[in-house]
Amino acid sequence: MSKILAIETSCDDTSIAIVDEDYNVLSMKTNSQVNIFKSLGGVVPEIAARSHSNNFESVLGDVLNDAGLTFEDVDAIAVTNEPGLMSSVFVGLCEAKMISLLTAKPLLRVNHLVGHICSILLSEKTIVYPSLCLLVSGGHTNLYYLKSKDDFQLLGETKDDAIGEAYDKVAKMMGLEYPGGPNIEKLASEIKETLDLKVSNLEDYNFSYSGLKSNVANLIDRGIVEKSVIANSFQESAINQLMKKIIMADNNMDVKRCYVVGGVSQNMQLQKKLSLLDIPMSFPKQEYCGDNGAMIGAAAIYLKGKNVSIK
C-alpha cells in the first residue's frame, strides 16, 4: 500500500506525518513553537523559520522511528508550498526537495488551504459533493462551495482580520497568552451572560472581524464589564457571523453537508452552535484541526499529487 511522507511548516508547527492511501495516519509528530511565541505575543517569522530548521531532523527521525519505517518504505514526499509565512514554508520545501532528490521519490506540492479541507478525509475517508467548507484559522476565514473534486469555489473571505487572528488579538488585549483562541474559549465558558456586540454585517458571503475587535477594545478600556462576559460576548458574535453565512449559502445553493476545518474549528462552542443548524455538519478530529502534516498527506493522496491552487 502506498505511503506518503508529508511535511507541514507553513507557520509555527513543524509537523511531519506518514499517511497511507486509505488515509490512515501511521505516525505523526509535531513540534509546536507555541512556548517560544507565548512570551512574544505572536509569531515572529524569522524565529519560526530558524526553529523549523533546528527541529526538522529530530521530528523526521521520530516520525520514521515511530512508524517503524525508513525512506525506502515511502512512495512520495508531500509538502506545503503555499500560502503561509514565506520563510517558514521555505524551510519545509527545501528539506522536502532534498529528501526527494536523495531518495529519488516524487515531490508533491500541496496548497495549505486544500490541506485543511482534506483534513476531513482523515476521519471520514470521503468528501461529499456539493458541499460547503468553512475554513477558520489564524490566517483565514474562507467559505468554499465544494462543487466537485476539481472545483473548490471561494464564496467569501474576511475583508480584514481572520477569525483566529481576532481571537488572538482580543486575548492579547485582555492579557491572555498566545494563542488566544483556547484561552478566550475557556474564559467564555465560565459564564452564560452575553452583551449584544455590534459587528459589521457584510451583505455578501464575506466576513469582517475588525469592527467586533474595536468594540471589544472599547469595552476593555471602559473597565466596567467582567472579562468573562466580554470573552463570551465576543465569541458569540464571532460565531453568529459564521452561522449567518452558512445559512445564507444553504438557502441559495444545493448543499449536502458542511465541513468546518482549521485551528478555530476545534472550538467546542462553535461546534455546538453549528451542529444545531439543519445541515449535516462535520469537523476534523481535534488533532487534525490545527496545522498538521497528516492533512498535507491526505490532500496529496486525494488529488493524486495534482497541485491545486485555491485562494
Kind plus residue range of the DSSP H or E element containing 270: helix 268-275
| Min dist. Cβ of residue 6 to ligand KG4 (A) | 16
Q: Which residues pair with 142 in a beta bridge?
A: 135
139 touches ligand KG4 by CB under 6 A: yes
- For 256: left if phi > 0, alpha if psi spans -120 to 50, otherwise beta; the answer is alpha
Interacting stretch for Zn ion, rule CB under 5 A, among 28-36, 46-54, 86-94, 134-142?
Answer: 134-142
37 touches ligand KG4 by CB under 6 A: no
Cα angle 110, 140, 231 (rounded to 5 degrees) comes to: 140
CB nearer to ligand KG4: pick between 233 and 255 = 233
* Per-position x/- string for 270-299, each x denoting binding to Zn ion as judged by CB under 5 A, each - no binding: ---------------------x--------
81 touches ligand KG4 by CB under 6 A: no
DSSP 135: E
Kind plus residue range of the DSSP H or E element containing 153: strand 151-156
User: In terms of DSSP H, where are the helices of 68-125?
Assistant: 86-103, 112-118, 121-124
The helix/strand/coil state of 13 is strand
Burial class (CB in 10 A: 0-12, 13-18, 19+), 86: exposed
137 touches ligand KG4 by CB under 6 A: yes
Q: How far apart are CA 297 and CA 127, in angstroms?
A: 15
For 192-303, strand residue ranges (E) read 258-261, 281-282
CB nearer to ligand KG4: pick between 290 and 297 = 290
Size of the site for Zn ion (CB under 5 A): 2
9 touches ligand KG4 by CB under 6 A: no
Cell numbers given for 223? 473597565
* Per-position x/- string for 232-271, each x denoting binding to ligand KG4 as judged by CB under 6 A, each - no binding: ------------------------------xxx-xx----
283 touches ligand KG4 by CB under 6 A: no
291 touches ligand KG4 by CB under 6 A: yes
Give contact residues for ligand KG4 (rule: CB under 6 A): 11, 137-139, 164, 167-168, 179-182, 185, 262-264, 266-267, 290-291
Give contact residues for Zn ion (rule: CB under 5 A): 137, 291
